[in-house]
C-alpha cells in the first residue's frame, strides 16, 4: 500500500477539513454520556504540550491544501485557558486557518466571564459551542465533580455572551433518560434567543444521545410526542428555523451521524500526540500512530475508517427491509457501537429503532 497516496487522498477530500486537539481529559463535570470516563483518564489529568500543538498544526498545514478548521476538545477545554490563548495567538494571522471551535459546558465561561469575552474580542476566529442542556436537565445529567464545585452555571451570562458577541451557539443534548423535558428545554432556549438577528435554528443544535440500552419503547414514544410539541411551537410562533433547522428537526429524509462526524472530517490528536479515528474511539486497537512519526501511520486503519464512513453498507435487517428503504443504521455512532458491542460496525438495536421511528413519525412529516 502506498502510504503517501492514502494519506494525501484522505486529506484532499473536501470533507476532511478540521484538526481536533484534545487538550486534556480534565473536566469539571461527570456527564452521564461522557466517553472520557470510559477511558479512565480523569485521575491522570494530563495536558497537551505546546510541542504537540505546534507539530499537529504544522502537519495538517503540510498535507491539507487550502483552509481548515481547528477544534479544541476535552474534557473541558476551557480549563486549559493558557493553551487556548496560545493556539489563538499562533493562528491569529494565519490565512490557512479559518476558525477555532471550542465545545464547552459553560461553567468556566460563567466563572471567568471577563476573560472569555476578551478572548472572543481579541481573537475573532474563536467560536464557542455551549454544550448546556437547560435548567430542567443540567443537574440530572451533568453533576459537578467535587474538585470544581465552586464553578457555577449562569444562563443569564451565557445568553448575554451570545447577544454581545454572536460567536457562540447552544448545543443541548436530548437524553433518553430525561427526554420528558425536551419540549420545556426547547421553549426555554427559543424564548431566550428569540431576539437574535440570526435564525434560531442556526444557533440551537439539538442532537439525540445515541448510546445503547437507553431508548426504550416508552422513551421513544415520549421523544415523538415531545418533538411534535416542539414543531407545533415553531409553527404557532412562526419561527424562522434557519438553515440547520435545529439539526434533529431537519426533515431531510436522511439520517446521518451528525453534521460533522469526526470520522469524515477530522484528524483527532490527543494530549500525547497520539492519533485516533475520532474522540469516541480512543482505544488501543484504534491507535493510528503518532503526530511525531506521521509518515509511519498505520494507514490501513486510516483508510478503512474513512472508506467505511463514506461507503457504509452494513445495515441491520430491520432497516434493510424498512418500507422507505432508508439506511437508518447510518445514524449510529461508531464509538457508541463499539462500547455497546465491542465492535464499532454493528448497529445498536434501540438506537436504530429510535432513529427509524423518529424519521417516520417526526422528520418525515416536517414541511418547512
- pLDDT value, residue 47: 93
- pLDDT value, residue 306: 65
- Grade residue 310 by pLDDT with cuts at 50, 70 and 90: low
Q: Which residue has the higher pLDDT, 267 or 71?
A: 71
What's the predicted TM-score (pTM) here? 0.92
What is the arithmetic mean of pLDDT over 138-157?
93
**Nearest CA to 204 among 130, 260, 141?**
130
- pLDDT value, residue 260: 41
C-alpha span between 186 and 133 (Å, rounded):
10
Q: Which of 217-221, 317-321, 363-367 has the highest mean pLDDT?
A: 217-221
Q: What is the mean pLDDT of the chain?
A: 87
- Grade residue 331 by pLDDT with cuts at 50, 70 and 90: low
- Grade residue 320 by pLDDT with cuts at 50, 70 and 90: confident
- Grade residue 307 by pLDDT with cuts at 50, 70 and 90: low
> Does the structure show a pLDDT above 70 at 312?
no
- pLDDT value, residue 230: 95
- pLDDT value, residue 255: 43
Residues 175-201 pLDDT 10s:
999 999 999 999 999 999 999 889 999
Q: Which residue has the higher pLDDT, 308 or 207?
A: 207
C-alpha span between 328 and 256 (Å, rounded):
8
Domains and CATH numbers, the chain: 3-264 (3.20.20.70)
- pLDDT value, residue 210: 87
- pLDDT value, residue 240: 87
Q: What is the 3-state secondary structure (H, E, C) of the chain?
A: CCHHHHHHHHHCCCCCCEEEEECCCCCCECCCCCCHHHHCCCCCCCCCCHHHHHHHHHHHHHHCCCCEEEEEECCCHHHHHHHHHHHHHHHCCCCCEEEEEEEECCHHHHHCHHHHHHHHHHCCCEEEEECCCCCCCHHHHCCECHHHCCCCCCHHHHHHHHHHHCCEEECCEECCCCHHHHHHHHHHHHHHHCCCCCCHHHCECEEECCCCCCCCHHHHHHHHHHHHHHHHHHHHCCCCCCCCCCECCCCCCCCCCCCCCHHHHEEEECCCCEEECCHHHCCHHHCCEEHHHHHHCCHHHHHHHHHHHHCCCCCCHHHHCCCCCCCHHHHCCHHHHHHHHCCCCCCCHHHHHHHHHHHHHCHHHCCC
Q: What percent of the chain has a predicted confidence (pLDDT) above 70? A: 88
> Does the structure show a pLDDT above 50 at 253?
no
- pLDDT value, residue 109: 98
Integer CA distances (angstroms), 80 to 30, 45, 70, in order? 18, 11, 16
- Grade residue 256 by pLDDT with cuts at 50, 70 and 90: very low
> Does the structure show a pLDDT above 90 at 332?
no
Amino acid at each position: 500500500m502506498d502510504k503517501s497516496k492514502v494519506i494525501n487522498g484522505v486529506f484532499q477530500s473536501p470533507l476532511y477539513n478540521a484538526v481536533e486537539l484534545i487538550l486534556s481529559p480534565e473536566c469539571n463535570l461527570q456527564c452521564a454520556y461522557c466517553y472520557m470516563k470510559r477511558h479512565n483518564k480523569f485521575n491522570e489529568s494530563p495536558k497537551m504540550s505546546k510541542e504537540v500543538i505546534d507539530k499537529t498544526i504544522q502537519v495538517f498545514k503540510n498535507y491539507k491544501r487550502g483552509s481548515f478548521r481547528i477544534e479544541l476538545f476535552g474534557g473541558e477545554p476551557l480549563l486549559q485557558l493558557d493553551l487556548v490563548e496560545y493556539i489563538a495567538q499562533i493562528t491569529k494571522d494565519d490565512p490557512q486557518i479559518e476558525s477555532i471551535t471550542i465545545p464547552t459546558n459553560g461553567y468556566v465561561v460563567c466563572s471567568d466571564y471577563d476573560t472569555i469575552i476578551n478572548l472572543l474580542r481579541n481573537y475573532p476566529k474563536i467560536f464557542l459551542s455551549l454544550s448546556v442542556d437547560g435548567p430542567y436537565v443540567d443537574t440530572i445529567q451533568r453533576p459537578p465533580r467535587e474538585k470544581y464545585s465552586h464553578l457555577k452555571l449562569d444562563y443569564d451570562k451565557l445568553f448575554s455572551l451570545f447577544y454581545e458577541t454572536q460567536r457562540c451557539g447552544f448545543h443541548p443534548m436530548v437524553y433518553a433518560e430525561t427526554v420528558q423535558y425536551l419540549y420545556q428545554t426547547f421553549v426555554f432556549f427559543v424564548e431566550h434567543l428569540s431576539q437574535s438577528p440570526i435564525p434560531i435554528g442556526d444557533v440551537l443544535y439539538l442532537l439525540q444521545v445515541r448510546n445503547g440500552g437507553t431508548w426504550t419503547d416508552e422513551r421513544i414514544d415520549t421523544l415523538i410526542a415531545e418533538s411534535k410539541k416542539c414543531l407545533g411551537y415553531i409553527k404557532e410562533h412562526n419561527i424562522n428555523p434557519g438553515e440547520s433547522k435545529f439539526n434533529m428537526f431537519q426533515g431531510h429524509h436522511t439520517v446521518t451521524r451528525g453534521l460533522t462526524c469526526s470520522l469524515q472530517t477530522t484528524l483527532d490528536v490527543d494530549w500525547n500526540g497520539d492519533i485516533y479515528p475520532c474522540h469516541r474511539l480512543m482505544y488501543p486497537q484504534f491507535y493510528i500512530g503518532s503526530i511525531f512519526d506521521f509518515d509511519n501511520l498505520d494507514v490501513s486503519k486510516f483508510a478503512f475508517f474513512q472508506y467505511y464512513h463514506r461507503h457504509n453498507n452494513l445495515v441491520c435487517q430491520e432497516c434493510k427491509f424498512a418500507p422507505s428503504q432508508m439506511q437508518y443504521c447510518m445514524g449510529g455512532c461508531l464509538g457508541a457501537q463499539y462500547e455497546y458491542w465491542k465492535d464499532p460496525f454493528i448497529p445498536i438495536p434501540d438506537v436504530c429503532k429510535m432513529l427509524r421511528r423518529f424519521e417516520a413519525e417526526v422528520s418525515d412529516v416536517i414541511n418547512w
